[in-house]
Structure 1
Amino acid sequence: MMLYLQKISVQRQLRVAINDNDVSMAHKLFLGGVDPDIRFSVNCNEKPALCLSVENNAFDLVRLLIERGVSINQRDSDGFTALHISCSQVYPHLAELLLQARANVNAKTNMGQTPLHMAAMRGSWDLVELLLSHGADINALDCDGNAPLHYASQSTNPGILKSLLSAGGSPALVNKAGNTPLHNAVETTAMTSDVIHLLALSYPDALGVQNCRMRTPLHIAVQRYNVLDTECILEVLLKYATREDLNLKGILGHTPLHLAVLENRLSLLRLFLTAGASPDTEDYLGHTPLESAARDASLDAVTLLLAAGANTRHLIKGGEVDSEVQDLEVRYHIRCATREPPPLSRFCRKVLIQYLGPASFRIISETSLPPKWQQFLSFRRNDL
């Protein structure tokens, strides 16, 4: 009993020494026979002294433990090694010390995450570079199928992406949710267009990859919260999109253009129309974007879709506008579009956009055309 109490007392003393980074006290305890690999129970997690010392950013104590021959790759109950913790807490000085002591750079947690996953998740360029220089597996997958690049794509630091891509990180890897790194980046709040550009440039085919929810990066972009950010991001994505990408259907048969109408995002609708997205694609209920806009009384969206040549046949019943369309102005515009041929200028715009392809909005903005022509071609003006 007395020996047990003495053991508990010694453990507590070492725990205090770790918390206070008291190297002198810890050294005395080790000289007195305390095992450097001793473990402590912390919130139902068994943590080695080394892991606790790293958590507390106790550099001198970590160095002392290494000198005393601590097992450098021991894990806590979650499978975290000291190196994992140094990366998770963004302590590059400790990570370097541990790597010099031959810490396993590719050790995995219970969730399959390596230290490089942690560094990418925290957005630390210094740690990413350090781990790569020690042979970190660039495309290691965790239990959710995420590579370090998936986590880095959620950081707003393009430097990390450049490092991972240069080291052979694959932007084509798809996780268990069906997402490429580009999907993750587009879905991340406050994401910068620089990061989107890097990922789209490195793997343009990601624009046509549908995840487990049948969403492509274009679908995800339309449903972002910040409209101004979304415009910038969508402009970047459209530089690399194909016509097929523009018209891919989501889980309910909605194309990105459908979603722009349903979300009433007119600026995004203009971008899709300028890029040549089809205004007549039907969802799985047989509804076109024009039908949705008309029944929702979205006059501006109806005007834009009609200007793009959207077919009105689904809205005409027995020669009259469908009774489900109740807004008088919307009914008037549909009736006029049905009875009158479109102006020649609109037909010319449609042909030009089809010829230029999805990047037409960028090409149009870079031309030396008069402003009114640029506005007309980008659907910011209905007629010349």
Structure 2
Amino acid sequence: MINKVDNAKRIRMRNSFTNSFVALVISLLLGMLLIGISGYSPIESYIAIFGVSLGTVKGFALSLSQATPLMFTGLAFALAYKVKMINTGAEGQLYAGAMAAALIGAYITNLPTGIHIFLGFLAAFLAGGLVAFIVALAKVYLNANEIIMSLMLNEIIILFTSYLANGPLKSPGSGVGQTEMIADSAKLTKLIPQTQLTTAIFVAILAACILQYVLEKTVFGYEIKVTGYNLNAANVAGIHVSKTYLITFALSGAIAGLGGAAMALGVNYRFIEGFSSGYGFAGISIAALAAYNPIGVIFSAFLIGVLKSGTITLNRTTNIPVELVDIIQVLVLIFVAAPALIKTIMKWTKKIRVKSGKVQKTYGGENS
């Protein structure tokens, strides 16, 4: 029985990754078509995007640094989705984590570097988790819709942190909304000089590995998966569903908060108003592209990081509109979010191959 369950699980996972791969290929092909229709060279565009992003040290570092916050938000969405909860609040949780980490970094001083950085990440973890926990409480005890709650909290948190950065916590003499610079002891180490790639990427990879282990090897991971697969079965098995919802969704928000700490401690060295370019919402497509697998999120985030890095390269080296790269990312989201469409395309492709084979066989028979 266990072998049958494991086999079914492997088949579902393989199908999910296949659908994601096909979605990516179709998106890239359609992207080439759109670029060509717009009057630009698809080959030149893709060389600019992938050649520099992957072919140079600084380009590769830029891709990884762009991917780092996306890894956190992708993991956040993937974890919540394991219990079939939709965390659309990762953007707000990211901001809450960034503000908490920036405050720890700026106003707590005279600490060893390791401890200071740890406290910054811990504060971000707790801040993001608290925001998500509020949503989960409303979901469990008031039957509120977590999607709407998360979206509304995004606005509240972003506006509140904007008020703090422009008001009581604003850095004196600054023309933009930002807090004081964090202490040197709170700054993350750069892995490559003159880049934004920091040790935060190791935190993201570690988080993915821990999540993978928890989901596959622990009782709590089993409870998460059973709750997500079949709520009735979870109740019959004696799983405390409400507790599972609360803990899982809170952990989801906490992981998104870590992404905020990565930006505040490793890139901006403070909280800056509007620092996110939609990292929280991008995590949705990243998680879907990875088939909601924590380890897969690392690779799908890197892919989107390459595209984002390529956008910067296009802007610097060519006159090709960067919006075309954004369209490719949107196409990935559309196809990944529509698995039925991918399955239909694959069926059409299979039928075409079968018909083609029949035609060739008939043609060969007529000549024989």
Q: Common fold, TM-score beyond 0.5? A: no
Structure showing the higher helix proportion among its residues? 2
Which gives a bigger RCO, structure 1 or 2 (Cα 8 Å, sep 6+)? 2
User: Greater CA radius of gyration, 1 or 2?
Assistant: 1
Please tell me the TM-score bracket, short chain as reference: under 0.3
Q: Normalising to structure 2: TM-score of the pair?
A: 0.23
Could you tell me the TM-score, scaled by structure 1's length? 0.22
